[in-house]
Amino acid sequence: MGLFILRRLGVMLLTALCLTFIVFWLTNLGPNLEKLAKTQGNARMTDDAVVSWLENRGYSQPLPVKYGQWLGVLPGYVIDGSDGETRARCQEPGQPLDEVSTFCGILQGDWGFSTVFKDEVGSIVATRLGLTGKLMFWVMMVMVPGALIIGVLAGMREGSRTDRTLSTVSIVSTATPEYVSGVVFISVFATATFGMQWFKGTATAAMDDATFENFFLPVITIALYGMGYIARMTRASMTEVMTAQYIRTARLKGVSFPKIVLKHALRNALIAPFTVIMLQFPWLLNGVVIVETLFNYKGFGWVLVQAAGNNDIELLLGVSVVSVFVVLITQLISDIGYVFLNPRIRIS
């Protein structure tokens, strides 16, 4: 078991390194840097000015060197600029040059500086992640119990009318991407078009003070898309369990149906959905980006859009590191959890 986790951690680290390097490479391509120079400096810069702007700020170093500096394994640059100013990567605003530390990168806990928000990447990501965490918490609170109940009810009696109805409901919910359900919900429940103006169409106010009125629509929009998929997986695993020998034995012994479902079937039927729920996190991340854009909720997904739209390299890297780690850690948890939950694997 220990060796398994160690191996998985090793692969995870390698994956994370590869992914961040890809993001680093894509954001540091020539045209992207040129765009960055023009948005940060002056939109009408000449080509020479762009080159010297980039050289003075260390963007023209070779890619592996820049990546090493960002990671914190290579010393940060100190460049005597062509405009006479000396810049160092690790220089805090106002700090004299001789006090600047040699290394500053992820390993030293320095995530860099956002060019769009003019703030430390670490603090931006932390605050935004907190806001998204709130959203995700409520999504999970709605989605997981809802999906499990639908799945168990549908899989309890395969082929019954309840099963067919609930299966159709879950197919519909998997077929509705967030930008469709969000738009439909807003126009039905937040405008006067259909006379049901019950909720707010934006969630900006929910960042400080989340109420049912302004937070329900974004939560339900994300939850619905994932719910159908988890419900279908739960249903499949429930139907499989319900045909097992030990359920038949229990029925023949005369155990009542609710008792069979709750005591005998449920625990075994929930192993498979557990992994599915964990693997839903990467998908939820997509939903978060769409819903935060649609409802103007300034969380992690909103930052991703801002960073990518403005080619804010260090912020984008911070965002990708966080999202990639979320994906990889949930994969790891789902693998380990599966081993722990499944007695057949645990004992062998």
Residues contributing to the site for other proteins (CB under 8 A): 11, 15, 18-19, 23, 26-27, 29-32, 34-35, 157, 160-161, 168, 171-172, 174-177, 179-180, 183-184, 186-187, 190-191, 193, 201-202, 282, 285-286, 289-290, 293-294, 301, 304-305, 308-309, 311, 319-320, 323-324, 327-328, 331
CA 173 to chain centre: 20
Q: Pairing mode, if any, of strands 86-88 and 113-114?
A: unpaired
Distances in whole angstroms, Cα of residue 208 to Cα of each of 110, 129, 157, 203, 204: 28, 14, 45, 10, 8
Cα separation, 173 vs 226, in Å, equals 8
- In whole angstroms, the minimum distance from the beta carbon of 124 to other proteins comes to 16
Spatial CA neighbour of 157 closest among 233, 261, 256: 261
Q: Which is nearer to other proteins, 219 or 324 (CB)?
A: 324
- In whole angstroms, the minimum distance from the beta carbon of 83 to other proteins comes to 26
Q: Which is nearer to other proteins, 95 or 204 (CB)?
A: 204
Q: Which is nearer to other proteins, 103 or 325 (CB)?
A: 325
- In whole angstroms, the minimum distance from the beta carbon of 77 to other proteins comes to 24
Single-letter residue type at 122: G
Spatial CA neighbour of 153 closest among 264, 53, 266: 266
Neighbours of 187 (CB within 10 A): 12
- In whole angstroms, the minimum distance from the beta carbon of 285 to other proteins comes to 5
DSSP code at position 261? I
- In whole angstroms, the minimum distance from the beta carbon of 100 to other proteins comes to 31
Single-letter residue type at 38: K
Q: Which is nearer to other proteins, 88 or 139 (CB)?
A: 139
Q: Which is nearer to other proteins, 35 or 87 (CB)?
A: 35
Residue 328 in 3-state DSSP? helix
